[in-house]
């Protein structure tokens, strides 16, 4: 069975360096960054997954995967990397159908991962006190076709959370400790809180506040990812390595 690109489809173009470009084949002729001026309709009929020359450059075309969406993100603020997003989703037990809250939205990187995880029946609520971040993130989410799973609010999470019975809350702000009491009230029994902080002092203040409230299963982790370079000469860890992303603290709401 051969699958070909049809009209009005969201597609991702992947170049030889595995950079990713999102298009909709129903879009208009325009300059697409990294691809050039093209009429997206010209892609119709190309075989999915077959490397094809488009405007002097070779591309594979795919229906976008979750990972394509995470990797195709345009950055404005610093992002939560897929490695940490993966850990958040697993340790917060986030799954299809869940309602989860995150704050802030940043560039929408974690938002994409969360939307992928709760779809098709769940919801991501995303607070940010900066309207420009929300706008930028929503643009990313629309490109990825995930905006339908996300409700944004221009709000400061340290001022309170309106929602109740949330399955999980993920806090990525400089002062997560100020959101802990609100999270306690907004989580369902058995729900998970996660805070993401680069500094130990942030972790300490947050864990202190978390313990005061009576959360259980309180754990803090750091994930270190090493890429291995495998070539015909042999194998070694990559010389390039990100030394640190952030500490992830997890906690679970109970009844007192």
- Give the separation between CA 90 and CA 150, rounded to whole angstroms: 19
- Give the separation between CA 48 and CA 239, rounded to whole angstroms: 35
Whether residue 171 contacts residue 195, with contact meaning beta carbons closer than 8 Å, is answered with: yes
Binder among 101, 203, 209, 251 for its own copies (CB under 8 A): 203
| CB burial readout 147-183, b (16+ within 10 A) else e | bebbebbebbbbeebebeebbbbbbbbeebbbbbebb
Q: By CB under 8 A, tell whether 247 contacts its own copies.
A: yes
Specify the residue, 153 or 167, whose C-beta has the smaller distance to its own copies.
Answer: 167
Specify the residue, 39 or 238, whose C-beta has the smaller distance to its own copies.
Answer: 238
Specify the residue, 153 or 209, whose C-beta has the smaller distance to its own copies.
Answer: 209
Binder among 135, 192, 196, 215 for its own copies (CB under 8 A): 192
Q: Write down the least CB distance from residue 239 to its own copies, Å.
A: 5
- Half-sphere exposure of residue 52: CA atoms within 13 angstroms, side-chain side: 17
Specify the residue, 112 or 137, whose C-beta has the smaller distance to its own copies.
Answer: 112
Specify the residue, 18 or 28, whose C-beta has the smaller distance to its own copies.
Answer: 18
User: In the window 33-62, what residues touch its own copies (CB under 8 A)?
Assistant: 47-51, 60, 62
Binder among 35, 80, 94, 134 for its own copies (CB under 8 A): 94
Q: Write down the least CB distance from residue 223 to its own copies, Å.
A: 6
Task: Report residue 137 as tokens.
Answer: 């993130």
Span near its own copies by CB under 8 A; candidates 25-33, 136-144, 145-153, 221-229: 221-229
Q: By CB under 8 A, tell whether 244 contacts its own copies.
A: yes
**Residue 215, by phi and psi: left (phi above 0), alpha (psi -120 to 50) or beta?**
beta
Largest CA distance in the chain: 65
User: In the window 123-162, what residues touch its own copies (CB under 8 A)?
Assistant: none
């Amino acid at each position: 069975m051969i699958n070909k690109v049809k009209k009005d489809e969201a597609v991702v173009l992947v170049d030889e360096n595995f950079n990713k470009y999102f298009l909709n084949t129903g879009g208009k002729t325009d300059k697409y960054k990294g691809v050039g001026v093209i009429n997206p309709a010209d892609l119709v009929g190309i075989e999915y997954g077959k490397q094809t020359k488009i405007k002097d450059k070779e591309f594979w075309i795919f229906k976008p995967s979750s990972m394509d969406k995470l990797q195709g993100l345009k950055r404005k603020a610093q992002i939560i990397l897929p490695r940490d997003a993966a850990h958040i989703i697993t340790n917060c037990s986030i799954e299809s159908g869940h309602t989860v809250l995150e704050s802030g939205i940043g560039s929408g990187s974690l938002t994409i991962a969360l939307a992928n995880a709760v779809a098709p029946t769940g919801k991501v609520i995303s607070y940010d006190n900066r309207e420009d971040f929300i706008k930028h993130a929503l643009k990313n989410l629309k490109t990825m076709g995930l905006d339908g799973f996300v409700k944004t609010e221009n709000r400061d999470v340290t001022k309170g959370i309106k929602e109740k019975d949330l399955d999980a809350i993920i806090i990525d702000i400089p002062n997560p400790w100020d959101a802990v009491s609100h999270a306690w009230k907004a989580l369902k029994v058995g729900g998970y809180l996660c805070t993401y902080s680069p500094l130990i002092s942030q972790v300490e203040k947050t864990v202190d506040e978390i313990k005061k409230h009576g959360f259980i299963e309180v754990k803090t982790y750091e994930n270190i990812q090493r890429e291995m370079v495998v070539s015909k000469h042999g194998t070694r860890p990559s010389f390039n390595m990100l030394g640190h992303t952030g500490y992830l603290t997890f906690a679970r709401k109970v009844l007192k």
